[in-house]
Structures are given as C-alpha cells and as structure tokens.
Amino acid sequence: MAKRKVKFVCQDCGYESAKWMGKCPGCNNWNTLVEEIEASNMKNRHTVGGEAKAARKPESITAIDSEKEPRMTTTMKEFNRVLGGGIVPGSLALIGGDPGIGKSTLLLQISAQLAEKQLPVLYISGEESTRQTKLRADRLGVKSDLLYVLAETNLLDIANQIEQIKPSFVVIDSIQTIFREEVTSAPGSVSQVRECTSELMRIAKTNGIPIFIVGHVTKEGAIAGPRMLEHMVDAVLYFEGEQHHTHRILRGVKNRFGSTHEMGIFEMKEEGLREVLNPSEIFLEERSQGTSGSTVVASMEGTRPVLVEIQALISPSSFGNPRRMATGIDSNRVPLLMAVLEKRVGLMLQNQDAYIKVAGGVKLDEPAIDLAIAVSIASSFRDQPTKPEDIIIGEVGLTGEIRRVSRIEQRVQEAAKLGFKRVICPKKNLEGWKAPESIQVVGVNTVQEALDIGLDR
C-alpha cells in the first residue's frame, strides 16, 4: 500500500509547503496553511474518470478562422454590456459578491431569459435544494420547461448530466461546494477549487458551453480561494452594493472578450433585479441645492458617461494629525489634492479634517475626477456653494495645471441631456469638436481659474 503524502496548502493564495508554518510565505497571512493529503492514484488530473483525450496538433496562425462567434444575448442590456455584448459560447465566467447581494437571483433571471429563447439551461445548486430554487423561481415569475435544476455537489455526476442534457448554458452555484472524489481534501479547499475549476473549463471549451460559476468572497471582498482561480477563467465579475440599499452594481474586473471598464447597474425589487438604463438620474435625484462641498462630475465607466455627485466636508481638526477619509475614491488622492490646494491656491488645510464621499455607492478611479474633488474641498473650506447647474471635469497636476481628459464629447452630451447648463473642463479639450447649443463649455488651465469660475461669490 502506497504511503500517503501530506502537504500543507494556504487557503488564501494556494502556497504549498511540506511542513506546517504559522505564517504563509506567499501572502504573509497567519494560520492559513491547512493539512491536505496528496493523492497519487488519480487516473488523470484533467479529465473526470480518467478518459484519455487525443492530443491536439499545433496550427499555423494564418490558417485559424478568426470570425467572431455569435454571442448569446439576454434581455438585460446592462448584463450584455458588462460582458462585452453578450455571453460567448465556450467561455468560463466567475461571479463573486457578498452573501445575500443577489448573485443567485441574477443568474436565475439570466437562465430564465435564455430558456425563454428555446435554449436548454442547466442550473446546478450546491447550496440549496431544488425546492428552495423553485421558491425563488416562483417569486421571480420563472416559468420555462427548458430550465433544468439540479441539486448536486459531485463533479462526476454534474459532468454526466451536462453530457446527457447538452445544455446551452450552465450555472454552478457555488464552486466552493463542488468536489472531486479523487481529491481527498474537503470541498472549498484550494485543491478542490482548483481541480473542479480546471475540469469545468475543459467541459466549457470542448463542448462550446458557456459556464458561469459563483464564488464566495472573503471579508476583504476578494473572491475566496487561490488567486489562480481568477487567472483560469475568461471573465471575472463582481456584484457589489449595500444590503440596505436597493441598487446593485455589476462590474467586470477581467474579460477576455470585452472591456474591463464596463459597469451595469440594477435595482433590487420584490420580483427580482431590474436594470437601470439611466444611472445618472438615480445618482443625482437626492442632491441638495445651494450647499457647499458638493460638485457633479461626468465619469466614464467603459463606454458610458455617468454623472455622480462628489461631496466633501472640511472641518477643523481636534488632534495633531488631521484625518483624511475617502469613500468611493482612492484615499491616497485626497492628501495629494489638498497639498496642491495649499501650495498653488493658498488654502490652509493642514489643520483640517477632510471627508470625501461619492454619493450613491459608486467607486471612481479615473483621473478626470480630480478637479471636481478639489473644487468640493475648496467649496466646503470656504463655505461657498458651487453652482448647481455646473459639471466639473479635469485631471489636476502637481503644479496646479488642469490636464486634458478622454471622451469629452460623450461627457458633455450626457450633461446636456440631463439639463446642466455649463461644463468646466480643461482648455486643451476644447479643440476639434463643437459642443451642443444648450450647454456652455468653459476651459480652464489651472485650479485657481476653476475655483474663480465654479464657486458662487
């Protein structure tokens, strides 16, 4: 009888060690190495049941067909946008999010929409029984004979059912509950997640079936399991939002078939998720008029301009080290912009606490929001409100100059569509295009010019 080999695997990053260690050398986290038994009698690591596959031969790149495959589209335009135009046949996508955020609801709605197009869909639930899935389907109004539900966690049985039904779309909810019998570790461990994902990828590629797998997230918000899980799949989507708010944001952080900057916005209703086609109105509907520290910026999320409100609160500090807190933007950007305002504009902010927030729970990471943040900080510090009909766009340099931004035409058109009267933007962006007649575009070269124009006296 062969001696069993024991190894210790980090449950966060997948680092393997022959002995136990308190601190993982790979990710520097404590108490994450778990003992696992390395099976040496697995028939084949890459096929369920050990069935041998014929080796493929290399092809000349000029002989490969480069025609685009037709995508499977759903009735949710927001979902299609995030994926780059629809679901690609043979793709493997990973969707993560906090518990109870609506991942299963979203995928069940997508499955029902594809089934209504006469496409067989297999929904595999490893966490709920078929009766629980049926209760959710009744709440969502799902009634389709081509939507099949299976409560199973054994990967071999799942592969057999996929072979029999031959579905056009498969959902695995979730990958942490699926296990392979050849792997001796518990479901959800690094070895199980890695082996099951590898087999699902083989099934998707060889049969041309798109597979969506749900992944649990850690307390930091990252998808649980080894980091290589995100490298194996074709697309990684994050479903974000607050449990106490109705809005949900579907964001792509990896997509081999489209842009990773797209964002889809949904609203949670009693009957399921409903897409929001004009998110700018949602983010601005509760904006206060005539208050200091509030500006509106036109940010690009992929190919779509989104108008959001940036709020700032500046107050005298009671401590030796003033606080700098930011929600929805990079926290390192706030002290940088405050240093520019001190050096180039003359605002004494070194003894002031600063709190910056992007209203609506949106996360912005493009440099075009710099000027709006700086104007919000100066507005709150001077207690001078900004003009409510203004949109402020621009990147701020360390010397106080305003640098050009991309896609200025789309940003201005979105502002004009929502009734704004003036756009303050970099002067370099005024060349080569004509603004709509209903809106005035003002170019500025420095932060001081933007403050002189944008703040009410």
* Binding-site residues from annotation: 97-104
**Angle, in degrees to the nearest 10, between helices 130-140 and 103-115:** 70
Only one residue has tokens 């579905």, namely 167
* CA 312 distance to own-chain centroid: 25
* CA 205 distance to own-chain centroid: 24
* Tokens of residue 61, six digits: 């790149």
Q: Is 350 exposed, middle or buried (0-12, 13-18, 19+ CB in 10 A)?
A: exposed
**Residue-by-residue DSSP string for 398-420:** TTSBEE--S-HHHHHHHHHHTT-
> How many other C-beta atoms lie within 10 A of the C-beta of residue 258?
19
Sign for the CA dihedral angle at 242, 243, 247, 250 comes to positive
Amino acid sitting at position 39: A
Residues annotated within a binding site for ATP: 97-104
Q: What pairs with residue 147 in β-bridges?
A: 121
Q: Is 237 exposed, middle or buried (0-12, 13-18, 19+ CB in 10 A)?
A: buried
DSSP category for residue 342: I
CB 86 within 8 A of CB 80: yes
- Give the residue from 94, 158, 149 showing the smallest Cα distance to 123: 149
Amino acid sitting at position 106: L
CA distance 346 to 78: 45
CB 96 within 8 A of CB 124: no
- Give the residue from 275, 266, 284 showing the smallest Cα distance to 419: 284
Only one residue has tokens 């075009």, namely 368
Q: What is the dihedral of CA 443, 448, 452, 456, to 10 degrees?
A: 110
